[in-house]
Structure 1
């Protein structure tokens, strides 16, 4: 796990920072997948899937050759939830 976090910090994160994005390591699953969370501009970028496969998975496979894949973990912000609830509640007025 330390090597994975090192690759994220030293190789992947700087590339994402250049595009106003970031990445957070979540976990390595028992079946060999790495879970990460993209944030900033990368979280909503149309090219996020390509970034995950080419940049994130590619770099991680260099240190973790048995990697089964990378799984993005999505999290909705509290602000977005509040905005959605506000819109939905207007219709019930």
Structure 2
């Protein structure tokens, strides 16, 4: 499951290039109990729009592609 999630985030995601264009990035951290944990990097750290980007972008896409994804949560490590 981890490999499929990473592939979607790193290769298939149409959202990641927009995040990178604005000086940020998203990195897969782990998957537990239906929750995908990601780490935000660069300009995304502290950005007020990140919640919408995650919920309406990355989370929606992952839920469309993989059964069993409940939500995407941003972690600070």
Residue 28 of structure 1: aligned partner: 31
Please list, as runs of the form range in 1=range in 2, the aligned pairs for 1:29-68 lying within 5 A after superposition.
29=32, 31-68=33-70
What runs of 5+ residues in structure 1 fail to find an aligned partner? Answer: 76-93
Larger strand proportion, structure 1 or 2?
A: 2
Of 7, 16, 19, 1:16 maps to: 19
- Higher helix proportion (structure 1 or 2): 1
Q: Which string of whole-angstrom CA distances, capped at 9 and with x for unpartnered residues, describes residues 10-64 of structure 1? A: 21422210211101100000x1100000111112111011011011101111221
Contact 2:25–2:41, Cα closer than 8 Å, also in 1 = yes
Using structure 1 for the length normalisation, give the TM-score: 0.72
Larger Rg: 1
1:80 alignment partner in structure 2? none
TM-score between both structures, scaled by the size of structure 2: 0.85
User: 2:4 is matched with which residue?
Assistant: 3
- RMSD (Å), alpha carbons: 1.2
Give matches, 1:64-83, under 5 Å: 64-75=66-77
